[in-house]
Amino acid sequence: MSFKILTPVKRVIDYNVRIRVKSDFSDVESDNVKMSMNPFDEIALEEALRLKEAGIATEIVAVTLGVSACQDVLLTALAMGADRAIFIQTEQSPQPLMVATLLRHIIEKELPNLVLMGKQAIDDDCGQTGQMLAGMLNWPQATFASKIVITDNTATVTREIDGGLETLRLQLPAVITTDLRLNQPRYISLPNIMKAKQKKLDVMMASHLNLDMTPHLTVLKVESPPPRKPGIQVKSVLELIEKLKPAANV
């Protein structure tokens, strides 16, 4: 019996790079900056690969959208172990609703049993796409997953919430978004990087899909956070307490 997992991945500025804002405050500087797969999406893909290695999944399809350069994250996904990839080319900035709309189109054609994706992207931190996608598909969803168990046609998901942990049982197909503590993604070997170039990568143009991709968000200004104020040194515990009293409204 086939079991297909679809894993959306996003190309973002590498998490080790120090972010710089453009001089006109329109966006962050991305020219000549190292880019990589969104860490939460990498965790989702790793979990999909583990499900395949456990004999549960039979096929893993990675999907991304954006400008032509975004195909490199699909090569990374294929090198990690995804079976094939789909690239949707568009010059538009990928906003959550647009991404969910395009993913729904792919899902209706691919008919996966499970969509595994990161809970958010580290560039915009929206954390909305998975929820929007589940709503569009009318599928059950579990967000911020820290443990996933698949049995028969059911997913049991332990998710992180403010009060601790919550366990949900979902009927598949479903959408699950992953949190940091779910797993540790694998190292990609050089032979697997070479093999990735031989795997199938389908390319389609978003403009040819006849979907409503009208942007609903407008970025007015991008600013760096204010610099942290320097600390002060105190000579005694009593002086420290006196300094803390105003902050504690004592």
pLDDT in tens, 170-179: 999 999 999 9
Would you say residue 232 has pLDDT above 90? Answer: no
- Structure token pair of residue 111: 């008919």
Does residue 155 contact residue 170 with C-beta atoms inside 8 Å? yes
Does residue 48 contact residue 7 with C-beta atoms inside 8 Å? yes
- Tally of structural domains, the chain: 1
Alpha-carbon span 15 to 37, nearest angstrom: 9
CA angle 111, 38, 164 (to 5 degrees): 85
- Please report, for the domain that includes residue 160, its CATH number: 3.40.50.620
- Structure token pair of residue 128: 């909305």
Per-residue burial over 151-166, b if 16 or more Cβ lie within 10 Å, else e, is eeeebebbbbeeeeee
Task: Note down the domain range covering 36.
Answer: 4-248
Q: Which pLDDT score, from 0 to 100, does residue 54 have?
A: 93
Alpha-carbon span 124 to 89, nearest angstrom: 20
Alpha helical stretches, state H, the chain: 39-53, 71-80, 96-110, 129-137, 190-196, 237-248
Question: What global pTM score does this model have?
Answer: 0.84
Would you say residue 248 has pLDDT above 90? Answer: no
Question: What's the mean pLDDT when you consider all of the chain?
Answer: 89
% of the chain beyond a pLDDT of 90: 49
Does residue 132 contact residue 100 with C-beta atoms inside 8 Å? yes
CB contact set of 243 (below 8 Å; sequence gap of 6+): 232, 234
Alpha-carbon span 214 to 204, nearest angstrom: 19
Q: Which pLDDT score, from 0 to 100, does residue 249 have?
A: 66
Task: Give the CA distances from residue 136 to residues 61, 85, 176, in Å, rounded to whole numbers and listed in that order.
Answer: 20, 22, 14
Does residue 60 contact residue 44 with C-beta atoms inside 8 Å? no
Would you say residue 149 has pLDDT above 90? Answer: yes
Would you say residue 250 has pLDDT above 60? Answer: no
Q: Which pLDDT score, from 0 to 100, does residue 15 have?
A: 84
Give the DSSP H/E element, type plus range, for residue 228.
none
Cis peptide before 230 (omega within 30 of 0): no
Q: Which pLDDT score, from 0 to 100, does residue 127 have?
A: 86
Q: Which pLDDT score, from 0 to 100, does residue 68 have?
A: 87
Q: Crossing angle for the helix pair 39-53 and 71-80, nearest 10 degrees? A: 30
More confident residue, 4 or 92: 4
Does residue 38 contact residue 129 with C-beta atoms inside 8 Å? no
pLDDT in tens, 8-39: 999 988 888 888 888 888 777 777 888 889 99
pLDDT in tens, 179-212: 988 999 998 888 888 888 889 889 999 888 888 7
Single out the residue of 60, 61, 132 nearest to residue 94, CA to CA. 132
Nearest-10 Cα torsion for 84, 38, 118, 48: 40
Read off the pLDDT of each residue in 53-58 and give the average, rounded to a whole number.
93
Q: Which pLDDT score, from 0 to 100, does residue 117 have?
A: 93
pLDDT in tens, 60-118: 999 999 888 889 999 999 999 999 999 999 888 888 888 999 999 999 999 999 999 99
